[in-house]
Amino acid sequence: MAVFTEVPPDAARALAERLELGDLVELRGIQGGIENTNYFLTTEQGEYVLTLFERLTAAQLPFYLYLMKHLARRGVPVPEPHGLPGSATPAQPDGVLLHTVCGKPAAVVDRLRGHSELAPTAAHCAQVGEMLARMHLAGRDYALSQPNLRGLAWWNETVPVVLPHLQPAQAALLKSELAFQNHVAQSPAYAALPRGPVHADLFRDNVMFEDGRLSGFFDFYFAGVDTWLFDLAVCLNDWCIDLASGRHEAERAQAFLAAYARVRPLASAERRLFPAMLRAGALRFWISRLWDFHLPREASLLKPHDPTHFERVLRERVAHPVAA
Ligand SMILES: Nc1ncnc2c1ncn2[C@@H]1O[C@H](COP(=O)(O)OP(=O)(O)O)[C@@H](O)[C@H]1O
Ligand SMILES: N[C@@H](CCOP(=O)(O)O)C(=O)O
Protein backbone atom coordinates (compact mmCIF):
# COMPACT_ATOMS: atom_id res chain seq x y z
CA MET A 1 0.00 0.00 0.00
CA ALA A 2 0.89 3.13 0.77
CA VAL A 3 0.26 5.82 3.31
CA PHE A 4 2.80 8.49 2.54
CA THR A 5 0.74 11.09 4.41
CA GLU A 6 -1.12 10.25 7.64
CA VAL A 7 -4.58 11.82 7.46
CA PRO A 8 -6.10 12.79 10.84
CA PRO A 9 -9.77 11.72 11.10
CA ASP A 10 -10.78 15.36 11.61
CA ALA A 11 -9.36 16.31 8.20
CA ALA A 12 -11.33 13.49 6.54
CA ARG A 13 -14.46 14.41 8.51
CA ALA A 14 -14.21 18.03 7.37
CA LEU A 15 -13.86 17.00 3.73
CA ALA A 16 -16.81 14.55 3.95
CA GLU A 17 -18.87 17.38 5.39
CA ARG A 18 -17.87 19.80 2.59
CA LEU A 19 -18.81 17.17 0.00
CA GLU A 20 -22.10 16.51 1.82
CA LEU A 21 -21.30 12.81 2.21
CA GLY A 22 -22.48 12.61 5.81
CA ASP A 23 -20.71 12.01 9.12
CA LEU A 24 -17.44 10.07 9.19
CA VAL A 25 -17.82 6.53 10.52
CA GLU A 26 -14.39 5.06 9.74
CA LEU A 27 -11.11 6.03 8.10
CA ARG A 28 -8.69 3.20 7.30
CA GLY A 29 -5.32 3.30 5.47
CA ILE A 30 -5.27 0.93 2.48
CA GLN A 31 -2.62 -1.73 2.07
CA GLY A 32 -1.94 -1.97 -1.67
CA GLY A 33 -0.80 0.50 -4.30
CA ILE A 34 2.54 2.23 -4.50
CA GLU A 35 1.91 5.68 -5.85
CA ASN A 36 -0.53 7.64 -3.72
CA THR A 37 -1.90 7.74 -0.19
CA ASN A 38 -5.21 5.84 -0.10
CA TYR A 39 -7.80 5.45 2.63
CA PHE A 40 -11.16 3.75 2.76
CA LEU A 41 -13.49 6.45 4.02
CA THR A 42 -16.85 5.31 5.36
CA THR A 43 -19.58 7.78 6.21
CA GLU A 44 -23.15 7.28 7.28
CA GLN A 45 -24.09 7.59 3.58
CA GLY A 46 -21.68 5.19 1.91
CA GLU A 47 -18.16 3.92 1.28
CA TYR A 48 -15.55 5.94 -0.57
CA VAL A 49 -11.84 6.01 -1.32
CA LEU A 50 -9.89 9.10 -0.30
CA THR A 51 -6.70 9.56 -2.33
CA LEU A 52 -3.98 12.09 -1.59
CA PHE A 53 -1.80 12.58 -4.64
CA GLU A 54 1.86 12.39 -3.76
CA ARG A 55 3.49 13.07 -7.12
CA LEU A 56 0.86 14.35 -9.51
CA THR A 57 0.26 18.09 -9.42
CA ALA A 58 -3.02 20.00 -9.24
CA ALA A 59 -2.48 20.96 -12.89
CA GLN A 60 -2.17 17.31 -14.00
CA LEU A 61 -5.05 15.88 -11.98
CA PRO A 62 -8.15 17.25 -13.76
CA PHE A 63 -7.37 15.01 -16.77
CA TYR A 64 -7.81 11.84 -14.66
CA LEU A 65 -10.75 12.97 -12.54
CA TYR A 66 -12.88 14.31 -15.39
CA LEU A 67 -11.96 11.23 -17.47
CA MET A 68 -13.51 9.02 -14.80
CA LYS A 69 -16.66 11.17 -14.84
CA HIS A 70 -16.73 11.05 -18.65
CA LEU A 71 -16.41 7.25 -18.73
CA ALA A 72 -18.92 6.70 -15.93
CA ARG A 73 -21.45 8.82 -17.83
CA ARG A 74 -21.01 6.51 -20.83
CA GLY A 75 -21.69 3.39 -18.78
CA VAL A 76 -18.07 2.30 -18.24
CA PRO A 77 -17.84 0.92 -14.67
CA VAL A 78 -15.31 3.24 -13.02
CA PRO A 79 -15.41 5.02 -9.64
CA GLU A 80 -17.09 8.42 -9.79
CA PRO A 81 -15.23 11.31 -8.18
CA HIS A 82 -17.30 13.50 -5.82
CA GLY A 83 -17.49 17.19 -6.63
CA LEU A 84 -17.91 20.16 -4.37
CA PRO A 85 -21.67 20.88 -4.12
CA GLY A 86 -22.63 24.11 -5.91
CA SER A 87 -19.37 24.29 -7.91
CA ALA A 88 -20.83 23.24 -11.29
CA THR A 89 -20.69 25.84 -14.07
CA PRO A 90 -21.98 25.71 -17.67
CA ALA A 91 -18.35 25.28 -18.81
CA GLN A 92 -17.67 22.56 -16.21
CA PRO A 93 -20.93 20.79 -15.32
CA ASP A 94 -19.08 18.23 -13.18
CA GLY A 95 -17.92 21.00 -10.83
CA VAL A 96 -14.74 20.98 -8.75
CA LEU A 97 -13.46 17.41 -8.30
CA LEU A 98 -10.03 18.22 -6.89
CA HIS A 99 -9.82 19.01 -3.16
CA THR A 100 -7.05 19.65 -0.65
CA VAL A 101 -6.27 17.50 2.40
CA CYS A 102 -3.18 17.95 4.60
CA GLY A 103 -1.85 20.40 2.02
CA LYS A 104 -1.98 17.78 -0.76
CA PRO A 105 -4.27 17.55 -3.78
CA ALA A 106 -6.96 14.97 -2.99
CA ALA A 107 -10.02 13.25 -4.45
CA VAL A 108 -12.89 11.21 -3.08
CA VAL A 109 -14.29 8.51 -5.35
CA ASP A 110 -16.89 5.78 -4.88
CA ARG A 111 -15.57 2.54 -3.45
CA LEU A 112 -16.16 -0.26 -5.96
CA ARG A 113 -17.70 -3.49 -4.81
CA GLY A 114 -16.08 -6.87 -5.39
CA HIS A 115 -12.54 -8.20 -5.27
CA SER A 116 -9.55 -8.52 -7.56
CA GLU A 117 -9.15 -11.80 -9.43
CA LEU A 118 -5.46 -12.56 -9.00
CA ALA A 119 -5.62 -15.96 -10.76
CA PRO A 120 -7.76 -15.08 -13.80
CA THR A 121 -9.25 -17.58 -16.21
CA ALA A 122 -9.91 -17.07 -19.92
CA ALA A 123 -13.47 -16.00 -18.97
CA HIS A 124 -12.15 -13.20 -16.73
CA CYS A 125 -9.71 -12.11 -19.45
CA ALA A 126 -12.49 -11.93 -22.02
CA GLN A 127 -14.48 -9.59 -19.76
CA VAL A 128 -11.48 -7.31 -19.26
CA GLY A 129 -10.76 -7.31 -23.01
CA GLU A 130 -14.32 -6.33 -23.86
CA MET A 131 -14.40 -3.63 -21.22
CA LEU A 132 -11.01 -2.21 -22.31
CA ALA A 133 -12.27 -1.83 -25.89
CA ARG A 134 -15.46 -0.16 -24.62
CA MET A 135 -13.36 2.22 -22.57
CA HIS A 136 -11.19 3.11 -25.59
CA LEU A 137 -14.24 3.88 -27.71
CA ALA A 138 -15.96 5.81 -24.90
CA GLY A 139 -12.86 8.02 -24.53
CA ARG A 140 -12.85 9.18 -28.15
CA ASP A 141 -14.83 12.34 -27.45
CA TYR A 142 -13.12 13.21 -24.16
CA ALA A 143 -12.25 16.89 -24.35
CA LEU A 144 -9.10 17.05 -22.19
CA SER A 145 -5.73 15.79 -23.34
CA GLN A 146 -2.57 14.88 -21.46
CA PRO A 147 0.25 12.63 -22.60
CA ASN A 148 1.06 9.37 -20.85
CA LEU A 149 3.44 10.75 -18.21
CA ARG A 150 5.12 7.32 -18.00
CA GLY A 151 5.67 7.15 -21.77
CA LEU A 152 8.76 7.16 -23.99
CA ALA A 153 10.00 10.61 -22.85
CA TRP A 154 9.98 9.41 -19.23
CA TRP A 155 11.75 6.16 -20.16
CA ASN A 156 14.51 8.16 -21.85
CA GLU A 157 14.85 10.36 -18.73
CA THR A 158 14.74 7.54 -16.20
CA VAL A 159 16.91 4.84 -17.76
CA PRO A 160 20.16 6.79 -17.12
CA VAL A 161 19.08 7.21 -13.47
CA VAL A 162 18.63 3.46 -12.86
CA LEU A 163 21.50 2.15 -15.02
CA PRO A 164 24.19 2.56 -12.31
CA HIS A 165 22.23 0.10 -10.11
CA LEU A 166 22.22 -2.73 -12.67
CA GLN A 167 24.40 -5.69 -13.55
CA PRO A 168 26.13 -5.41 -16.96
CA ALA A 169 23.75 -7.88 -18.69
CA GLN A 170 20.70 -6.03 -17.35
CA ALA A 171 22.12 -2.66 -18.37
CA ALA A 172 22.81 -3.96 -21.88
CA LEU A 173 19.22 -5.24 -22.24
CA LEU A 174 17.73 -2.02 -20.90
CA LYS A 175 19.78 0.17 -23.25
CA SER A 176 19.17 -1.96 -26.33
CA GLU A 177 15.42 -2.17 -25.69
CA LEU A 178 15.18 1.57 -25.16
CA ALA A 179 17.02 2.13 -28.46
CA PHE A 180 14.62 -0.30 -30.18
CA GLN A 181 11.56 1.51 -28.78
CA ASN A 182 12.90 4.92 -29.83
CA HIS A 183 13.34 3.47 -33.32
CA VAL A 184 9.80 2.03 -33.37
CA ALA A 185 8.36 5.36 -32.21
CA GLN A 186 9.85 7.04 -35.32
CA SER A 187 8.25 4.59 -37.75
CA PRO A 188 5.26 5.34 -40.05
CA ALA A 189 3.46 2.26 -38.64
CA TYR A 190 3.69 3.76 -35.15
CA ALA A 191 2.35 7.12 -36.39
CA ALA A 192 -0.60 5.23 -37.88
CA LEU A 193 -1.65 3.61 -34.59
CA PRO A 194 -5.04 4.76 -33.31
CA ARG A 195 -4.83 6.57 -30.01
CA GLY A 196 -6.85 8.23 -27.27
CA PRO A 197 -7.16 8.18 -23.48
CA VAL A 198 -5.76 4.89 -22.14
CA HIS A 199 -5.67 3.45 -18.63
CA ALA A 200 -2.03 2.32 -18.99
CA ASP A 201 -1.93 0.32 -15.72
CA LEU A 202 -4.84 -2.10 -15.94
CA PHE A 203 -3.28 -4.94 -13.99
CA ARG A 204 -5.12 -7.73 -12.19
CA ASP A 205 -5.18 -5.71 -8.95
CA ASN A 206 -6.98 -2.77 -10.57
CA VAL A 207 -10.11 -4.64 -11.71
CA MET A 208 -12.97 -5.83 -9.48
CA PHE A 209 -15.19 -8.87 -9.98
CA GLU A 210 -18.36 -9.82 -8.14
CA ASP A 211 -19.71 -13.36 -8.55
CA GLY A 212 -17.43 -13.86 -11.56
CA ARG A 213 -18.68 -10.70 -13.33
CA LEU A 214 -16.50 -7.66 -13.85
CA SER A 215 -17.90 -4.98 -11.54
CA GLY A 216 -15.48 -2.14 -12.22
CA PHE A 217 -11.92 -0.94 -12.59
CA PHE A 218 -9.98 1.86 -10.96
CA ASP A 219 -6.55 3.51 -10.46
CA PHE A 220 -6.62 5.91 -13.39
CA TYR A 221 -3.66 7.92 -12.19
CA PHE A 222 -1.26 6.58 -14.83
CA ALA A 223 -3.78 7.23 -17.62
CA GLY A 224 -2.95 9.50 -20.54
CA VAL A 225 -3.32 9.87 -24.26
CA ASP A 226 -1.32 7.10 -25.90
CA THR A 227 -1.84 4.32 -28.44
CA TRP A 228 -4.68 1.92 -27.73
CA LEU A 229 -2.26 -0.87 -28.63
CA PHE A 230 0.05 0.11 -25.76
CA ASP A 231 -2.88 -0.25 -23.32
CA LEU A 232 -3.70 -3.65 -24.75
CA ALA A 233 -0.05 -4.72 -24.43
CA VAL A 234 0.09 -3.61 -20.77
CA CYS A 235 -2.99 -5.76 -20.05
CA LEU A 236 -1.77 -8.81 -21.95
CA ASN A 237 1.57 -8.66 -20.12
CA ASP A 238 -0.24 -9.00 -16.81
CA TRP A 239 -3.52 -10.86 -17.39
CA CYS A 240 -2.24 -13.38 -19.92
CA ILE A 241 1.12 -14.56 -18.65
CA ASP A 242 2.38 -17.18 -16.25
CA LEU A 243 3.48 -14.95 -13.36
CA ALA A 244 6.31 -17.24 -12.27
CA SER A 245 8.09 -17.39 -15.63
CA GLY A 246 6.68 -14.37 -17.48
CA ARG A 247 5.64 -16.70 -20.29
CA HIS A 248 2.74 -15.83 -22.60
CA GLU A 249 -0.43 -17.89 -21.94
CA ALA A 250 -2.08 -18.42 -25.32
CA GLU A 251 -5.56 -19.44 -24.16
CA ARG A 252 -6.09 -16.41 -21.95
CA ALA A 253 -4.49 -14.06 -24.51
CA GLN A 254 -6.77 -15.32 -27.29
CA ALA A 255 -9.83 -14.89 -25.09
CA PHE A 256 -8.72 -11.34 -24.19
CA LEU A 257 -7.93 -10.32 -27.77
CA ALA A 258 -11.01 -11.90 -29.34
CA ALA A 259 -13.30 -10.12 -26.86
CA TYR A 260 -11.48 -6.83 -27.43
CA ALA A 261 -11.65 -7.19 -31.21
CA ARG A 262 -15.39 -7.96 -31.17
CA VAL A 263 -15.90 -4.41 -29.86
CA ARG A 264 -13.01 -2.78 -31.75
CA PRO A 265 -11.18 -4.77 -34.43
CA LEU A 266 -7.43 -4.15 -34.63
CA ALA A 267 -6.06 -2.04 -37.50
CA SER A 268 -3.30 -3.43 -39.72
CA ALA A 269 -0.62 -1.17 -38.16
CA GLU A 270 -1.65 -2.53 -34.76
CA ARG A 271 -1.17 -6.11 -35.92
CA ARG A 272 2.24 -5.22 -37.33
CA LEU A 273 3.45 -3.51 -34.15
CA PHE A 274 1.84 -5.96 -31.73
CA PRO A 275 5.11 -7.76 -30.76
CA ALA A 276 6.97 -4.44 -30.42
CA MET A 277 4.27 -2.97 -28.16
CA LEU A 278 4.29 -6.06 -25.93
CA ARG A 279 7.99 -5.33 -25.45
CA ALA A 280 7.19 -1.64 -24.80
CA GLY A 281 4.64 -2.60 -22.13
CA ALA A 282 7.21 -4.80 -20.37
CA LEU A 283 9.93 -2.16 -20.63
CA ARG A 284 7.69 0.54 -19.14
CA PHE A 285 7.07 -1.41 -15.94
CA TRP A 286 10.63 -2.74 -15.70
CA ILE A 287 11.85 0.88 -15.68
CA SER A 288 9.26 2.12 -13.15
CA ARG A 289 9.86 -0.83 -10.83
CA LEU A 290 13.64 -0.30 -11.02
CA TRP A 291 13.09 3.36 -10.25
CA ASP A 292 10.77 2.67 -7.28
CA PHE A 293 13.12 -0.04 -6.00
CA HIS A 294 16.46 1.77 -6.24
CA LEU A 295 15.18 5.26 -5.44
CA PRO A 296 12.53 4.49 -2.77
CA ARG A 297 10.24 6.96 -1.06
CA GLU A 298 9.36 7.09 2.65
CA ALA A 299 5.92 5.66 3.41
CA SER A 300 4.23 3.35 5.86
CA LEU A 301 2.72 0.15 4.40
CA LEU A 302 4.72 0.64 1.15
CA LYS A 303 5.78 -2.58 -0.56
CA PRO A 304 7.72 -1.96 -3.80
CA HIS A 305 7.07 -4.36 -6.68
CA ASP A 306 9.79 -6.75 -7.81
CA PRO A 307 11.60 -5.31 -10.88
CA THR A 308 13.07 -8.68 -11.96
CA HIS A 309 9.55 -9.83 -12.87
CA PHE A 310 9.35 -7.38 -15.78
CA GLU A 311 12.93 -8.11 -16.79
CA ARG A 312 11.78 -11.74 -17.24
CA VAL A 313 8.66 -10.66 -19.13
CA LEU A 314 10.74 -8.48 -21.45
CA ARG A 315 13.28 -11.26 -22.11
CA GLU A 316 10.35 -13.59 -22.94
CA ARG A 317 8.81 -11.03 -25.31
CA VAL A 318 12.13 -10.52 -27.11
CA ALA A 319 12.92 -14.25 -27.33
CA HIS A 320 9.39 -15.41 -28.26
CA PRO A 321 7.48 -12.72 -30.20
CA VAL A 322 3.72 -13.27 -30.21
CA ALA A 323 1.50 -12.42 -33.19
CA ALA A 324 -1.88 -10.71 -32.73
N1 LIG B 1 -12.42 2.93 -6.08
C2 LIG B 1 -11.96 1.90 -5.40
N3 LIG B 1 -12.82 0.95 -4.96
C4 LIG B 1 -12.39 -0.09 -4.21
N5 LIG B 1 -11.11 -0.26 -3.82
C6 LIG B 1 -10.21 0.65 -4.23
C7 LIG B 1 -10.58 1.77 -5.04
N8 LIG B 1 -9.47 2.51 -5.26
C9 LIG B 1 -8.46 1.89 -4.62
N10 LIG B 1 -8.90 0.76 -4.00
C11 LIG B 1 -8.09 -0.14 -3.17
O12 LIG B 1 -6.89 0.52 -2.85
C13 LIG B 1 -5.76 -0.21 -3.29
C14 LIG B 1 -4.68 0.76 -3.74
O15 LIG B 1 -5.18 1.59 -4.78
P16 LIG B 1 -4.31 1.94 -6.05
O17 LIG B 1 -5.15 2.87 -6.86
O18 LIG B 1 -3.79 0.70 -6.69
O19 LIG B 1 -3.11 2.73 -5.40
P20 LIG B 1 -2.08 3.71 -6.07
O21 LIG B 1 -2.84 5.00 -6.30
O22 LIG B 1 -1.00 3.87 -5.05
O23 LIG B 1 -1.64 3.07 -7.33
C24 LIG B 1 -6.29 -1.12 -4.38
O25 LIG B 1 -5.54 -2.28 -4.53
C26 LIG B 1 -7.72 -1.41 -3.89
O27 LIG B 1 -7.70 -2.44 -2.92
N1 LIG C 1 0.95 -1.86 -11.72
C2 LIG C 1 2.26 -1.34 -11.62
C3 LIG C 1 2.49 -0.18 -10.70
C4 LIG C 1 1.31 0.44 -10.01
O5 LIG C 1 0.91 -0.42 -9.00
P6 LIG C 1 -0.52 -0.30 -8.29
O7 LIG C 1 -0.51 -1.43 -7.28
O8 LIG C 1 -0.54 1.05 -7.66
O9 LIG C 1 -1.56 -0.48 -9.34
C10 LIG C 1 3.29 -2.45 -11.34
O11 LIG C 1 2.84 -3.57 -11.10
O12 LIG C 1 4.49 -2.19 -11.41
Map out the domains of the chain as residue ranges.
9-110, 122-319
d(CA 5, CA 299): 8
Instruction: Give the architecture (CATH level 2) of 9-110.
Output: 2-Layer Sandwich (3.30)
| The pLDDT of residue 141 | 98
**Ligand 2 centre distance from Cα of residue 234 (Å):** 11
| Of 1, 3, 5, 38, best ligand 1 pocket probe by most atoms within 8 Å of the beta carbon | 38
Cα dihedral 63, 41, 43, 106 sign = negative
Residue 206 CA to its chain's centroid (Å): 7
Name the nearest CA neighbour of 276 among 231, 228, 227, 321: 321
| The pLDDT of residue 316 | 98
Which ligand gives the minimal distance to the CA of 304? 2
Query: pTM of the entire structure?
Result: 0.95
187 phi, psi to nearest 5 deg: -80, 155
According to CATH, what is the number of the domain 122-319? 3.90.1200.10
How many Cα atoms within 13 Å fall on the side-chain side of residue 166?
21
| The pLDDT of residue 267 | 97
| The pLDDT of residue 2 | 66
For 27-68, what is each residue's pLDDT tens digit? Answer: 999 987 678 999 999 999 999 999 999 999 999 999 999 999
| The pLDDT of residue 303 | 74
| Model ipTM value | 0.93
139 phi, psi to nearest 5 deg: -85, -5
**Ligand 1 centre distance from Cα of residue 42 (Å):** 15
| The pLDDT of residue 297 | 76
Residues of the chain whose pLDDT is less than 70? 1-2, 33, 298-302
- Kindly state if the Cβ of 109 falls inside 6 Å of ligand 1: yes
Q: Please state, as a whole number, how many other Cβ atoms lie within 10 Å of the Cβ of residue 107.
A: 24
Which ligand gives the minimal distance to the CA of 31? 1
**β partners of residue 3:** 300
| The pLDDT of residue 1 | 44
Contact 236, 243 (CB under 8 A): no
Q: Please state, as a whole number, how many other Cβ atoms lie within 10 Å of the Cβ of residue 168.
A: 7
Contact 214, 77 (CB under 8 A): yes
| Of 4, 28, 30, 234, best ligand 1 pocket probe by most atoms within 8 Å of the beta carbon | 30
